[in-house]
Structure formats: C-alpha cells, structure tokens
Amino acid sequence: GQNIDQPTEMTATEGAIVQINCTYQTSGFNGLFWYQQHAGEAPTFLSYNVLDGLEEKGRFSSFLSRSKGYSYLLLKELQMKDSASYLCAVRWASWGKLQFGAGTQVVVTP
C-alpha cells in the first residue's frame, strides 16, 4: 500500500469547528472515504469523495483535491458525542479495496 497521513490527535471545544486533514499519494487514486469510530466500536461511514470539491452532510463536510492528494473532514458545531477517531480511507485502482489511515483522535472538551 501507499502512505496515508493524518494527524494523530486534535482537541477542540464544544460548539467549535475542527478540520481533519488527510494526505495520500495521488498515483492510482480511486476514491476516498471518511469513517467515524468510537473506542471499541465499529467504524461508521461518514462520506465519500471521488471528484474534486466539497460534499456536505449536515454538520459534517468533506473536501477533496485529487491533484494535491489532499482531503479534509470538517466537523462543525462540535458536540461531546463527536469525540471519536476519524479514519481516512483510500481506494486504490490497482487494489479495488480500501487502505485506512491510522486515524485522528478528536477530543471535544466542554
């Protein structure tokens, strides 16, 4: 597989906005997924991007720039329940399956 990089941890205050970046090597890219995972639980699908631009789903938005090998997940109006790990996953054309980043632990404080 190829490298998928995302920050290890981010802390933000309830009601604020947090942006989680994900970078990857562009060669062979065929789609990017974001998942949320609470400790000890299953990953839950949040968003899918394959074309450049912004996809908005309620408080969560995801952006993709294929030429830069860059995506971000934007979490708005943070709530305590948003404290979780956020996983960036890339589908490579040669694989046809997902490769997950190590995840970004978001901690929401009162």
Q: Which residues bind other proteins (CB under 8 A)?
A: 31, 33, 35, 40-45, 48, 50, 87, 91, 95-103
Buried b vs exposed e over 11-29: b needs ≥16 C-beta within 10 Å?
ebeeeeebebebbbeeeeb
Separation CA 99–CA 93 (nearest Å): 11
Task: Decide whether 60 or 100 has the Cβ nearer to other proteins.
Answer: 100
Helix count and strand count (H, E) for the chain: 0, 11
CB of 42 to other proteins, least distance (A): 4
Q: Are 32 and 80 in contact (CB under 8 A)?
A: no
**Angle in degrees, CA 37, 70, 105, rounded to 5:** 25
Task: Decide whether 38 or 109 has the Cβ nearer to other proteins.
Answer: 38
Task: Decide whether 43 or 69 has the Cβ nearer to other proteins.
Answer: 43
CB of 27 to other proteins, least distance (A): 19
Task: Decide whether 78 or 90 has the Cβ nearer to other proteins.
Answer: 90
- Copy the structure tokens of residue 41: 């639980």
